[in-house]
Amino acid sequence: MNLPLVSGGGFFASVRPDRRVRWQLLVTDAALALQQARQRLAQVEKLAAIGLLAPGIAHELNSPLGVIISNLAVLAGYGDSLGRLALVTRAAAAQLHEGQPQAAVAEVLDAGLHDADLDYILEDLPALTTESISSANRIAEIVRSLALFAQRDARGLGPVNVEDALQSAITLTWNELKQRAKLERNYAGVPAVIGSSAELAQVFVHLLRNATQALPERGGVISVTTTSADEGVTIRIADNGHGIPAEVLPRVFEPFYTTRPEGNGVGLGLPICHEIVTRHQGTIDIQSPPSGGTTVTVRLRAALSTPAGTPSGG
């Protein structure tokens, strides 16, 4: 039953003013409690997702970390060799100052260069440092993505680069995704959207994991596409998996509805995605034809530099 919260007719017309205020406070408190419960539920789902992603993230961190550790061991060896060469060079310089024959000094230097294998070190160092820097950047990208995903954003909605949020989600799901699918990125360089980076990353992580789990063990394709039009931004995540049965599709946003075996989900992922997108004043739609495959379309409003109705310029 919908009860009007203002006077002037209906249910509240016959209610004493003091009771009317009490009703309004009760309804307001109930709405606030419901909003807080939804936020806590979204946070719980996020923490559960982190737990599921943790093994893959650990593997993705371990690979570049192993490269860096290996390269540091090699660099330590090069440092020892160059240190010995530096000592030989210092001794040779002292011999020259003492008037030793140049031929004898040159022979000492040649022996030092040969022992240090300087040519190989100079050839290998650029590749070694480039590989180490690339690995360190990969670790930094994973850590940034995880920090973005895990944060509780209390700052409200603001301008967000949706393609950065997508990339963070791809980074976090990469270990699972790369084993089952070829990923196709079709970014259009869309405008910023009004939203929360953390919450949008949470939506995209769930959609990417859903797409991955719908694929066969090998040979799947997932495409991520962004477009913009009419002061809005559209994100599409499509897969060529087994699709969603027609009788299930109308219920995918129902809380606690799931077709997965027990222990593989409680049916909160898509409802929370729907709640987050709706709170962003956007829409989320799922299409899954009988031929197979699924396309999820998220539409968000763009962050306009000039609010509607406000003249631009000075």
pLDDT tens digits, 203-248: 999 999 989 988 887 779 999 999 998 889 999 999 998 888 888 8
Shared domain for 164 and 240, answered yes or no, is yes
Helix (H, G, I), strand (E, B) or coil at 108: helix
Which pLDDT score is estimated for 219? 78
Looking at the fold, whether 218 and 268 belong to one and the same domain comes out as yes
Q: Which two tokens stand for residue 131?
A: 């590989």
- pLDDT > 90 fraction of the chain, expressed in percent and rounded: 30
Which pLDDT band, with edges at 50, 70 and 90, does 310 fall under? very low
78 and 179: one domain?
A: no
**Stretch 174-187: mean pLDDT:** 91
Nearest Cα residue to 237 out of 197, 204, 214: 204
Examine the pLDDT at 306 and tell me if it is beyond 50.
no
Q: How confident is the model at residue 2 (pLDDT cuts 50, 70, 90)?
A: very low
* 261 and 175 assigned to the same domain: yes
Give the number of domains in the chain. Answer: 2
Q: Average pLDDT of 15-31?
A: 63
Q: Provide the pLDDT for residue 183.
A: 94
Q: Is the pLDDT of residue 311 over 80?
A: no
156 lies in the same domain as 73: no
Check residue 47 and give its pLDDT. 62
pLDDT tens digits for 99-140?
888 888 788 888 888 887 888 888 999 999 999 999 999 999
* CB 233 within 8 Å of CB 163: no
Q: Where is mean pLDDT largest: 39-48, 85-94, 118-127?
A: 118-127
Close Cβ partners of 54 (under 8 Å, ≥ 6 residues apart) = none
Output the six-digit token pair for 43: 């946070």
The pLDDT tens digits for 237-282 are 999 988 888 888 888 777 766 666 554 554 567 888 888 899 888 9
Q: Are 105 and 92 in contact (CB under 8 A)?
A: yes
Q: Does a structural domain hold residue 169? A: yes
Range of the domain at 240: 151-301
Domain's final residue, options 74, 105, 139: 139
pTM: 0.71
The two beta strands, 158-160 and 193-195, are antiparallel
Asked if residue 102 is part of any domain, the answer here is yes
- Average pLDDT in the chain: 80
Last residue of a domain, one of 79, 109, 139: 139
Is the per-residue pLDDT at 57 higher than 70? yes
The H-assigned helical ranges of the chain are 17-97, 102-116, 118-150, 162-178, 197-213, 269-279
Three-class SS state of 183: strand
- Does residue 85 sit within a domain? yes
pLDDT at 8 over 90: no
Q: Give me the count of residues in the chain.
A: 314
Residue 288 maps to a domain: yes
Domain endpoint, select from 93, 110, 139:
139
Output DSSP code: residue 230. T
| Residues 160 and 259 grouped into a single domain | yes
242 in a domain, yes or no?
yes
Is residue 265 assigned to a domain?
Answer: yes
Same domain, 297 and 207: yes
Residue 159 has pLDDT above 70, yes or no: yes
Quick one: which of 171, 181, 198 has its CA closest to 60?
Answer: 171
Residue 9 lies in a domain: no
297 and 161 co-located in one domain: yes
Q: Is residue 90 part of a domain?
A: yes
Per the CB < 8 A criterion, the answer to whether 173 and 212 are in contact is yes
Tell me the CA distances in angstroms from 212 to 55, 225, 239, one per residue in order: 16, 16, 8
| Residue ranges in 98-196 assigned as alpha helix (H) | 102-116, 118-150, 162-178
| Domain CATH number, residue 252 | 3.30.565.10
